[in-house]
Structure 1
Amino acid sequence: MLLKFAFQDFLDDRKFKNTTKVNIRNYLTILGEFVEYCNENQVVNVEDITTSTIRSYLLKCQDKGNNAGTINTKLTRIRAFFNYMVECEVVQASPAKKIKLLKEDVKVEVFSDEQINQMLNFYRRIKRREKSYCVYRDYMIIVTILGTRIRRGELIGLKWSDIDFENQAISVFGKTRRRETLPLTNKLTKEFLAYKTYCKQHWGRESEYVFTKRDYTKLTENALMLVFKYLRQRMNFPNVRVSAHTFRHTYCHRLAMSGMSAFAIQKLMRHQNISVTMKYVAMWEMSLGNRMISLIR
């Protein structure tokens, strides 16, 4: 089977299985790069791809500077593609199966209390001075992530109808493709009420989505990335990346350092697998232990 047709068939299958748009885009980019590599090396049929072909591609990626995490992501996507090819009986066995994932030096970045206060104060200052919708929106975005642990896709799709002000909760369509409820604190509920009033006054009507672009259309993944890019440039933190996921990691870190059990953290963070939570907890506990040893010495 021609690789280009198999690739398209795989993407169509992911869409049919209701895979998220973000994952579809990742498959398109990452697998697309692998398909291009195969074509450049005259490997045009799926059946002609060998373990050696995949390993050579990954070595090339490594030479280009891809770290272990990126290599593993690419290998995981290639494995998914060949598992589908086996399922469709295009090939008998996956040539990616024999290639092992690389060992990763995992470092999960988190914000310090000082950095969080610095970001919030930055927005509060310009919010008072400029009275701009985008400034207020961006402030509410980081306050929402900090207060609810909401994911990027959930944040983008959040509607005013999803917020239950009376019971102080947010309903989101989570990673498991199910409706999940996130509790709101009194303070965050008041923040949302004030922001909702501002939005009505600013637009002259109530929008469907909580966060919109400056032209009143739904916020997009790219627009959200630009929010964090702007904040990253203004803050210029030397040791941590300003991103939506770093805010989630920060919340998780605070829970772990408070002594909360891994099972309770898993429930609050909505990790599908306890092993993800355990990995974070173990890493942060080790980091804390190393700091204590250095202080004793």
Structure 2
Amino acid sequence: MSNFLIPKNEINLQTEILIADVIEDFLLTKNSSQTVRSYRNDLLSFFNRMELIFLNELAQVQFSLMVDHVMSFIRSQEKKDPFTDKVKNPSTVNRKAYALSSFFNYLIHVYNYPKNPIKQFQPHKTEKKSNTTSLTRAEAIDFLQYMQGKHRKSEADFRDYLIIIFLNIFALRRAEVVGLKWDDINFSKNSINVYQKGGTTKLLLTDKRGN
């Protein structure tokens, strides 16, 4: 078996095409100008680090070495807390990894590159921030009072009122609320039987006012 990534009779990667030009062609597949700008910087930084200019030079790099180069580049982008060793810029590191992964997938489909050297990369965990505007305390109270005022008009209104209560007062997850049935609510004992993730259940006791 050859030590090279591509057999010698493979034409696409053996021609002297500038990697920078291939990057620009790849970026035409992206819609966001911010993504284009970030990906361009990330990709050029990587290939400049490797001192690769043409595709035929890329074809001569053994795949195992390419994996090492890619992972070394990713690790070099990490900023770690000196005391906890925790990565302080996980989103930035993940983005650079995604840029490389997307580009190598492009090479696979367009230039017959064999496989993605960053396929096994495990993204860093990042904090998920909601873009949804939260209700103010006054708005939440007004909404609950509105629902309480109509909850006796029909079973559907009562159900909707209970859903709001379960989400806001008991802090149930959406999936937990969706899984509730009328039989799970015991009004005489003021309790709720909630089915949790993994098939387990928990019993919630309400106050004795029946609210």
TM-score by length of 2: 0.44
Which protein is richer in helix relative to its size?
Answer: 1
